Amino acid sequence: MRVWLAYGRDGLHVRIPDGAHAIEPQFEPALPAPLEAVRQALAKPLGTLPLKDLLDSKQRVCIVHSDGTRPMPGELLLTALAEVFSQVGIPDAQITLLNALGTHRPNTREELRELVGEEPLRRYRSEQSRSTDAAAMRAVGRLSDGTTVELHRAYVDADFRILLGFIEPHFFAGFSGGPKSVVPGVASQRVIQHVHRAELVAHPQATWGVLDGNPLWETLYEGACLCPPDFIINVALNKEKKVTAVFAGSLDTAHRQGVEYVRKSAMRAVPKLFDVVVTTNSGYPLDQNLYQTVKGMSAAARVVRPGGAIIMAAECADGIPDHGAFGEIVREAGSSEKILELVHSAGYCRPDQWQAQVLAQVLQKAQVYLYSDGISATQARSMLLEPITDLEQTIRTVAAAHEAATGRPAEICVLPQGPLTIPYVG
C-alpha cells in the first residue's frame, strides 16, 4: 500500500507492506469563510462579553502570538482584531505584538512576516519574548510552591492582554494553546525550567490529552493565572493546516471547549500495540528541527511494543538545532540511561533537559530510526538515533528482522500526520 507522509513542506509518498494500519485524525473540513468565523467568535465569545465591549480606546493592548514552530493563521486572526480595534478607536501605537518564544530562537523578520503578515508588522510594535533576557521580565506573583513567576514586561504592563493559539495534543502538557501562550510562552528561563522539571515531565499523568490531574499542566496554568489574559483566540486546524474551528473568549471556557473539539478528532483508539511504527512530526513547520521531532517519537511510543522500532521521517531543516542545550545534553550523556540519571539528579537544571528526558523515555522502549534531509548520519548517531536514507527499504528490513526473530510477521502501524494523531490502546 502507498501512503503520504507529512514531511517538510511537500510531503513524501512511501510504499509500505499491505496490511499495515494507517491511523490519521478524523478529517475535519476547513471553514468555508474563516475570517467571518473569527469575526463571529469575537462578537459572540465563550464565557465573556463581546471583545468590543471589553476594550477601551485608552488601553494598551498586548497580543501574544505563537512562534515559527507552530502553523498559526496569525494574519487571519489579526485582521479580525484590527477591525475591532478600529471600531473601539484604539490607535495602532497602543498595540504590541509579542512573539511567545519560550526557549526557542528568535524569529527572523521574514519568519515574522509569515507568522503575522506584513501589515500588522508595519502597523504595530513587535517584540519577541527571550526567556534569558532578565531585564525584560517582571515578577507577577508566586506559585503555591513558593516559586516566583516572571513574565515579559510587554505582557505584564499591558492594560488588555490577548492570546492567539493553536490547540493540538501535547506530549506532556496534555494540549497546547490556552495558558501555554503565557507559561512557557512569555515566561523567564527560570520559570520555564521549574515548570518543566524532571519529576513533572516523568509523572504518568503528564502526557498526551490529559489536563486534569496533570501536574505539569496545572503548574503552568497556575502561573498563567497570576497575570491572566483578558481574552483568547484559539483555533483548530486540519492536516492541510486550514482552520476548522475558532474558540474565542475567556481562558477557561474557550480553551476547554477547543480542547474537547480537538480531542474528538485527534485521539484515536487502536486495538493493540505494534512491532513497527512509522511516523512523522506533522510536516512543516512542526518538523523544523530534531528538538520538535521528539513529539512525533513520543506519539509513536504510545503504541509500539517494548523492544519494537519507531521509524521517523522529519525534515529538520533547522538541524538539531544549534541553539539551546538539547543536543549537548544528549551527546554528553551518551545513552538514554545516563540522560535519565542526569535529569533526576539533585541540582541538575539545564535548558531543554525536558526534551532530552522525553527522548530518553522513548529510547527506553524502542529503537528509533531517523530519515531526515537536515540531520547528518553523524549527528543522528550522536543523538542516539539510527540514521537511514531509504524509508521503504528500512521498513522492509526491520519487519523482516522481526519475523526472523519471532517467527511471525511484524505488525506495522503508520501515523502519516505524526503527533496530530494521538493513538492509544483501547
Active site residues: 104, 170
Q: In this structure, are residues 78 and 36 in contact, taking their beta carbons and an 8 Å threshold?
A: no
The three cell numbers of residue 350 are: 539545564
Q: Where are the beta strands (DSSP E) in 102-253?
A: 125-128, 137-142, 148-152, 160-166, 169-170, 174-175, 231-237, 243-249
Strands 366-371 and 160-166: unpaired
Q: In this structure, are residues 258 and 177 in contact, taking their beta carbons and an 8 Å threshold?
A: yes
**Biggest CA-to-CA distance, the chain:** 74
Q: In this structure, are residues 351 and 103 in contact, taking their beta carbons and an 8 Å threshold?
A: yes
The three cell numbers of residue 80 are: 479580525
User: Distance (Å, rounded) from C-alpha 261 to C-alpha 254?
Assistant: 11
Give the CA-trace dihedral at 329, 334, 335, 336, to 10 degrees. Answer: 10
- 26 — alpha (psi -120 to 50), left (phi > 0) or beta? beta
Q: In this structure, are residues 79 and 44 in contact, taking their beta carbons and an 8 Å threshold?
A: no
CA-based nearest residue to 359, from 308, 291, 420:
291
CA-based nearest residue to 63, from 190, 154, 140:
154
CA-based nearest residue to 127, from 175, 37, 182, 62:
62
Q: Where are the beta strands (DSSP E) in 75-158?
A: 95-100, 125-128, 137-142, 148-152
Q: No. of H helices and E strands in the chain? A: 16, 20
User: Distance (Å, rounded) from C-alpha 301 to C-alpha 251?
Assistant: 31
Q: Who contacts 33 (Cβ-Cβ below 8 Å, separation ≥6)?
A: none
